[in-house]
Amino acid sequence: MPGPTATAQSRQQAHARRMSKTSSSSSGIMTTTTNTSKSSLDAEKEKLRERNIEQVIFGNIAFKAWYPSYYPASVLMEGGKSRGEGDSIEVGKGIVVPRLYVCNRCFAYGREVIEWWKHVRCCERENLSRGRKIYTHGEEGAWTVWEVDGSVETLFCQNLSLFAKLFLDNKSVFFDVYSFNYFLLVYTPPSNPAKPQIVGFFSKEKMSWDNNNLACILIFPPWQKKGLGALLMAVSYEISRREGILGGPEKPISDLGRKGYKRYWGGEIARWLLEVRETDRKKGRGMVDVESISKETWIAADDCLAVLREMGIVEKAGRGKGTVERVRIDKVRVREWVDRNKISLDRQVDSNGFVEGYAERKEVVGD
Ligand SMILES: [Zn+2]
């Protein structure tokens, strides 16, 4: 069971570097091969997506892995034996690990159940929380968000990334945790405050040249379809609003991510549009420019326009003054879209739930 030791850490970093090399070279082959037919490229792609781990035991819950992950050779090699430094894990070899045990507190992992239990018992005793609490959702305080610095809690963030990769079909460079912060969504049962559970997270580049407010987002499978992804998305947007940076999630977005964002963006935009009176015209049609929607919802104009089109609620109305794109919005159709997709118009995040002053841009006084 890898623990937070310096050797385990450096071994894993070396491994991570190897993996990022492996994945970039394989994608290089895929893009530069000209004689290969499309179907064999697809087959190759499909092979790279083949799962190598069948099932994870996370705390006391078992569920299937969806995609391959890049756990080190000690886990993925046949019989758990690494042939030594330089071993690289090839994906596309099918299932090699029927069951992987993962600690639901620190994401340490192993194939042996007895070792794992020893670890869990000792990990539970430590009872440590990661990073600092930045947000509390609702009055009961059962849902909280914690910020963890990848360069401080390196092994924890690497183990979290390895686990997350089992459910994410993207991101080749997944192990550079140093330049990211991780925001953990934690559920603390009011009846059992000693058992907080991390149910998902998003990562964010500390310095993003593209103004990305989120790199990866995942709600772990047992907690999906409860609207928790929307809560994390809303937290990421509220943070960027506080920072005064207008941005969005890193592109390309996975299929699952796109579905989630479409609902989140659509809901935020719909709430604002339905509240706005000045677009009212007869039959609920009104003109509004995309910049205003973006300014009010803090969703980048491109993302606003894309989702408005996908929602099928806009007619192009040409450009307003200068280069501002204007669209004609039909409120009746907005309402229909909301009902059809069962979108909640409640606010996803309570800005008062953040710790005081969190991420707020400091005003520079004088020169
Ligand atoms: Zn642990």
Strand partners, 294: none
Position 218 scores a pLDDT of 94
pLDDT at 39 > cutoff 50: yes
Q: In this predicted structure, which of 75-79, 110-114, 148-152 has the lowest mean pLDDT? A: 75-79
For the chain, what are the domain ranges?
6-249, 255-347
pLDDT tens-digit map of 282-324? 545 678 888 999 999 999 999 999 999 888 887 766 665 556 6
DSSP structure class, residue 321: S
- Cα(349) to ligand 1 centroid in Å equals 30
Kindly state the tokens that stand for 178.
Answer: 């140093």
- Cα(156) to ligand 1 centroid in Å equals 9
- Cα(188) to ligand 1 centroid in Å equals 17
List the catalytic residue out of 46, 250, 291, 363: 250
The Cα 74–Cα 1 span in angstroms is 10
Q: Which CATH architecture describes the domain 6-249?
A: 3-Layer(aba) Sandwich (3.40)
Maximal C-alpha separation, the chain: 74
| φ, ψ dihedrals at 325, nearest 5° | -75, 130
- Cα(123) to ligand 1 centroid in Å equals 5
The Cα 13–Cα 8 span in angstroms is 9
When pLDDT is averaged across residues 115-141 and rounded to a whole number, the result is 87
- Cα(119) to ligand 1 centroid in Å equals 6
The amino acid sitting at 147 is E
Position 101 scores a pLDDT of 96
The distance of Cα 222 from the centroid of its chain, to the nearest Å, equals 16
The Cα 53–Cα 68 span in angstroms is 7
pLDDT-based confidence at residue 255 (cuts at 50, 70, 90): confident
First-to-last alpha carbon distance for the chain, in angstroms, is 54
> CB of 270 within 8 A of CB of 343?
yes
> CB of 131 within 8 A of CB of 164?
no
Kindly state the tokens that stand for 241.
Answer: 């609003």
Is domain 255-347 classified as CATH 1.10.10.10? yes
The mean of the pLDDT values for the chain is 81
pLDDT tens-digit map of 195-224? 899 999 999 999 999 999 999 999 999 999
- Cα(198) to ligand 1 centroid in Å equals 12
- The angle, 0 to 180 degrees and rounded to 10, between the axes of the packed helices 6-32 and 154-165 is 40
- Coil/strand/helix, residue 181: strand
| Catalytic residue status for 250 | yes
Q: Is residue 328 within a helix (H) or strand (E), and if so which, with residue range? A: strand 325-330
Give CA torsion, residues 104, 252, 175, 51, to 10 deg.
Answer: 60
> CB of 227 within 8 A of CB of 260?
no
Position 330 scores a pLDDT of 83
Instruction: Report if pTM > 0.85.
Output: no
Position 321 scores a pLDDT of 59
Return contacts of 13-20, CB within 8 angstroms, 24+ apart.
13/154, 13/158, 13/175, 14/85, 15/70, 15/72, 15/73, 16/70, 16/158, 16/174, 16/175, 16/176, 17/175, 18/88, 19/70, 19/88, 19/89, 19/174, 19/175, 20/172, 20/173, 20/174, 20/175, 20/176
pLDDT at 33 > cutoff 60: no
Burial pattern 214-224, b for ≥16 Cβ within 10 A else e, equals: bbbbbbbbebb
Task: Quote the percentage of the chain above a pLDDT of 90.
Answer: 53
Instruction: For residue 11, give the nearest of 157, 162, 155 by alpha carbon.
Output: 155
pLDDT at 25 > cutoff 50: no
Side-chain half-sphere exposure of 285, counting CA atoms within 13 A:
9
Q: In this predicted structure, which of 31-35, 60-64, 168-172, 259-263 has the lowest mean pLDDT? A: 31-35
Q: How far are the Cα atoms of 241, 245, 258 from residue 310, in angstroms, in the given order?
A: 25, 25, 11
pLDDT at 29 > cutoff 60: no
| φ, ψ dihedrals at 189, nearest 5° | -60, 125
pLDDT tens-digit map of 342-352? 999 999 999 99
The Cα 68–Cα 70 span in angstroms is 7
- Cα(57) to ligand 1 centroid in Å equals 13
